[in-house]
Chains A and B, each alone.
Chain A
Amino acid sequence: MATIDKTASVPGQRGTGSKPAQDRTQRFGEGGGVLNVFSHGFLAVWAILIVLPLGWVVLGSFKTDSQINGSAWSWPAAFHFDAFGRAWEKGIGGFFMNTIIVLLGSVTLTMLLGSMAAYVLARYEFKGNKVIYYLFVAGSMFPVYLALVPLFFMVRNLGEISPYLGLNSYAGLILVYVAYSLPFTVFFMYSFFRTLPTAVHEAAMLDGCSHARAFFQIMVPMAKPGLISVGIFNILGQWNQYILPVTLMQPTTAGEADHSMLAQGLVNLALQSGYKSDAPALFAGMTIAMLPVLVVYLSFQRQVQAGLTSATLK
């Protein structure tokens, strides 16, 4: 894109010095002035439409219950943080920790296994290479609903082997997240590994480096930008996952600890009126759930936007 900009501004390509061209530019500039106000108007309205509900929720976490149940336009009487404390105790804290535990495992494993598979598929010739690659790519096309019922029983059966793998277990959900994140990760890293130069790798091989060592010590560091993009994509995707935890993370026997993920737990609390008498805590819970995403997004917004859009353009 940058190169295109450069070619556009090469001097001599445009008749900037000649009078007629200048006139036209000016005329267009005037018309653009009206359009500028017009476009700013629409853009500002949409920006308000986005920010207003979000800001309203954050403000709501400082209001009192009676304020929330009154007019929507009330301003918080005082800025106390106790609603956050109550939300945390009502389960948000636990759900938050559950999500962190699962995410640490699943993102790490997704990145490791995904790039291992992508690397072998991208840089080694062997029989069935293309078949395996296309099998991975094809998997991302199907809706997850197609697999839900058998997946539920698959995970329940894993629970009979070891309770640490079954329904409502961290490891079970981690493995499922990894499996469903592999197609995109393999697809993305495959094209990334293909673009990396071969010379360094070959030199290392001549020096007697093993295949595995070449991967971990040479290719992985070189692939860092790609790994970061896919990593952010996977973190956001798995943090926001909903249908898989709803299906798999439900206590099967009474008294079993609730291992709900954050999004799932928040919806459950909102639905099962866990906050019926405490609307500020629900708003605080929402704020808590939004905050990490907001931080990740604002710090990496370029990568996030680029990563998510390139995910679409596959």
Chain B
Amino acid sequence: MRHGKYPFIVGFLFLPIVLYVGLVLWPYAQTFGYSLTDWSGASQEMNFVGLDNYTRLLDDEVFGNALWHNLLLLILLPVVTILIALFFAFMLNVGGKGGTGGVQGVKGAGFYKVVFFFPQVLSIAILAVLWGAVYRTDQSGLANGVLIKLGLASVDQPVQWLSDPDMVMWCVLAVLVWSGVGFYLVLFSAAMQSIPKDIYEAALLDGAKRGQTFFKITLPLLWETVQTAWVYLAIVAMDAFALVSSITPGAYFGGGPDHHSELISTYLMRSFLRNGEAGYACAMGVVIFFFTLILTVVSLWATKRDKIEY
């Protein structure tokens, strides 16, 4: 590389870096600063209040609810999604007839993969409108329609899916699992296909059953992928904003009934755009940041294992 190298480097990097620093990194940094002020967002007036916003968060019952729901999703979403996806991935790749090859997937595996994966490419906003219609509380909602058809619910007393405080979080979880399974199925499938077939064949010749081959061979060799899926699902769980804000009851960004599906992100948006509490909202953003950070570190540490090479 001779003449003109540095002008070229600067020329190519200038715009991307300006955009990235200006619109991504600088706002990230500013959030930490604003979270220490009583800024309303509407005016220029801004006073330094130290950690007041954070101590206020500790006493805020709505925030406590939100935090609890975030935790609930963080634990349940990965567990349920990964279990179902692993089950299906194993079915697709090793569940077929034995045949002479010893191990093979079921027929139509490709078709299933395409169908299962589809919800993943749909916008979470479309999912929200779709599931809003499915969860309607009268007989015209699909969920109630199926139950009534099966005789499990009556037309006069349909299930109050999203308006029932005890059910609303489960309904949200169901949508997230529904849309996520296909993606992790494909992820695990790819990982399973890279496991050499000789290993399975050797195990089968030694008399291993399918259950054994799954727990003794597939799962250990997939562990690293499972771990990645875990971290990624945790991020999805933190990001359930679009869904909750648009299908659950409650004025401005959902969270109802009576904060029973409140998330930190819905509370953040309401505080910022409706209640004029930008500083307070920033403090919640910082909480989400540390939440994500701690979570990533903990799950990486907890699922740490020796890498198996094959």
Write the residues of chain A forming the contact surface with B, with a CB cutoff of 8 angstroms: 1, 4-5, 7-9, 13-14, 16, 21, 24-26, 28-33, 35-36, 38-40, 42-43, 46-47, 49-54, 56-57, 60, 68-73, 113-114, 116-117, 119-121, 124, 126, 132, 135-136, 139, 141-143, 145-154, 175-176, 178-180, 182-183, 186, 205, 210-212, 215, 236, 239-243, 246-247, 263-264, 266-267, 270-271, 282-283, 285-286, 289-290, 293-294, 296-298, 301, 304-305, 308-309, 312-313
Contact = CB atoms under 8 A, between A and B. Distances in A.
Nearest to B188: A309
Would you call the interface of chain A mostly helix, strand, loop, or mixed? helix
B96 A43 contact: no
Interface residues of B, number: 116
B121 A293 contact: yes
Contact of A212 (B11, B25, B178, B246): B11
B284 to A, nearest CB: 8
Would you call the interface of chain B mostly helix, strand, loop, or mixed? helix
20 contacts: A1-B194, A29-B98, A42-B91, A43-B91, A43-B106, A54-B118, A73-B145, A120-B12, A143-B289, A145-B285, A146-B285, A146-B288, A150-B34, A152-B272, A175-B23, A211-B4, A264-B125, A266-B125, A294-B118, A298-B114
B122 A150 contact: no
Contacts of A301: 114, 117
A286 B95 contact: no
Given A14-B102, A143-B238, A309-B187, 9 more contacts: A8-B196, A21-B205, A146-B285, A147-B28, A147-B31, A150-B26, A240-B124, A247-B273, A286-B130
A4 B284 CA distance: 49
Contact of A263 (B125, B265, B284): B125
B60 to A, nearest CB: 17
A31 B95 CA distance: 10
A208 B133 CA distance: 63
Contacts of B207: 24
Contacts of A116: 12-13, 15-16
Residue among B197, B210, B285 with the highest chain A CB neighbour number at 10 A? B285
A72 B25 contact: no
B31 A149 contact: yes
A211 B1 CA distance: 9
A13 B198 CA distance: 9
A224 to B, nearest CB: 19
B161 interface: no
A169 B186 CA distance: 38
Interface string B113-144: 11111111111111011111110001111101
Interface in B134-186: 134, 138-142, 144-146, 148-149, 178, 181-183, 186
A280 to B, nearest CB: 11
Interface stretch (B72-80, B228-236, B301-309): B228-236
Contacts of B286: 146
Interface string B78-119: 000000000110011001111111100010100011111111
